[in-house]
């Protein structure tokens, strides 16, 4: 939290602070693109929060959900309902599908065929299926420090570049730095994380206070609503037991990955000795 925020609101009104953060950078977002902010909507509780905050802030923006092909069915239905609701309110809400250079839709299964099963250290799926949009745009996310140790490295305002060493991460909104960043906007993407310092309880309190629609998976006991089988989730493998068709699809893609490797004469030893051994290794995390 910046000194300005502390002076205006103290440490209590996180909703007002988040709204202020969104309003502060709107001019920069509009200079970057006349459509304004590119707001990432995943279908989780944090994206429900950030979606409502942007509406309350009254900023110009468009909401975008990237369909990964391994989203939970309930998430898919929820996103479609939210799309209709936001469209009725006059907002642009797009559901986009990742596509290759020839315009063909990318899927988890096609990616596994060429790249292998995604793991914690090799998460090609996130970049290709979830984070492909918003290039050159001013992006708003619901990322929070409380979610993971890795996310604690992120700030309120970030410059998005391929080289991590060159990334600009600001935990305090300083006017001088903001002017410096404005000159770079036409060439790069920026990320604004307005609720970076919110706790889980902060998010739920806001959702309940505003009576916001929320993904029904939470009421069914789900703690996270990401991709089914995600290697970053501690419940990823359990989800595949609940959804055997997804598990079968992962294995079928694994078989095709072996065919792909054999065609190219790539090494097939260790856990890669067979599709079965490789898939079992992956299931064990």
Instruction: Give me the DSSP letters along the chain.
Output: --HHHHHHHTTT-HHHHHHHHHHHTHHHHHHH-TT-EEEE--SSHHHHHHHHHHHHHT--EEEEEE--S---HHHHHHHHHHHHHHHHTT-EEEEE--B-TTSPBP-HHHHHHHH-S--SS--HHIIIIIS-S-TTSEEE----GGG-TGGGG--SEEEE-S-GGG--EESS--HHHHHHHHTTTTTSEEEE-TTTT--HHHHHHHHHHHT----TTGGGT-S--S-TT-TTSTTHHHHHHH-HHHHHHHHHHHHHHHHHHHHTT----GGGGSHHHHHHHHHT-
pLDDT tens series, the chain, 285 aa: 444 444 444 445 899 999 999 999 999 999 989 999 999 999 999 999 999 999 999 999 999 999 999 999 999 999 999 999 999 999 999 999 999 989 999 999 999 999 999 988 888 988 888 888 888 899 999 999 886 545 455 556 667 655 554 444 443 333 333 332 333 344 468 899 999 999 999 999 999 999 999 999 999 988 888 899 888 777 767 788 889 999 999 999 999 999 999 999 998 888 899 999 999 999 887
Predicted TM-score (pTM) of this structure:
0.81
Task: Report domain extents, the chain.
Answer: 3-220, 236-283
Q: Round to the nearest angstrom and report the end-to-end CA distance of the chain.
A: 37
Two structure tokens written together for 242: 């609940």
* pLDDT of amino acid 188: 67
* pLDDT of amino acid 82: 98
**Residue entry with tokens 């239905």:** 77
* pLDDT of amino acid 115: 94
Two structure tokens written together for 135: 């290039």
Reply yes or no on domain 3-220 having CATH 3.30.420.40: no
């Amino acid at each position: 939290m910046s000194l300005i925020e502390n002076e205006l609101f103290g440490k209590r009104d996180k909703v007002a602070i988040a709204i202020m953060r969104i309003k502060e950078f709107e001019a920069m977002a509009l200079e970057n693109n006349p459509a304004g902010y590119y707001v990432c909507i995943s279908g989780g509780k944090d994206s429900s929060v950030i979606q409502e905050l942007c509406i309350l802030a009254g900023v110009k923006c468009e909401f975008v959900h990237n369909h990964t092909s391994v989203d939970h069915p309930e998430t898919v239905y929820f996103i479609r309902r939210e799309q209709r609701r936001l469209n009725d309110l006059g907002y642009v809400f797009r559901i986009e599908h990742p596509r290759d250079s020839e315009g063909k839709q990318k899927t988890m299964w096609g990616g596994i065929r060429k790249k292998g099963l995604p793991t914690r250290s090799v998460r090609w799926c996130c970049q290709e299926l979830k984070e492909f949009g918003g290039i050159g745009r001013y992006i708003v996310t619901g990322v929070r420090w409380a979610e993971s140790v890795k996310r604690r490295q992120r700030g309120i305002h970030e410059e998005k570049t391929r080289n991590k060493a060159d990334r600009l991460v600001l935990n305090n909104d300083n006017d001088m730095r903001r002017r410096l960043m404005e000159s770079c906007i036409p060439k790069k993407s920026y990320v604004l994380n307005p609720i970076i310092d919110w706790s889980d309880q902060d998010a739920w309190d806001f959702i309940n206070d505003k009576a916001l629609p929320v993904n029904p998976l939470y009421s069914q006991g789900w703690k996270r609503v990401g991709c089914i089988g995600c290697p970053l989730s501690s419940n990823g493998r359990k989800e595949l037991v609940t959804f055997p068709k997804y598990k079968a699809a992962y294995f079928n893609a694994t078989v095709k990955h072996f065919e792909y490797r054999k065609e190219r004469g790539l090494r097939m030893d260790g856990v890669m000795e067979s599709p079965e051994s490789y898939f079992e290794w992956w299931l064990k995390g």
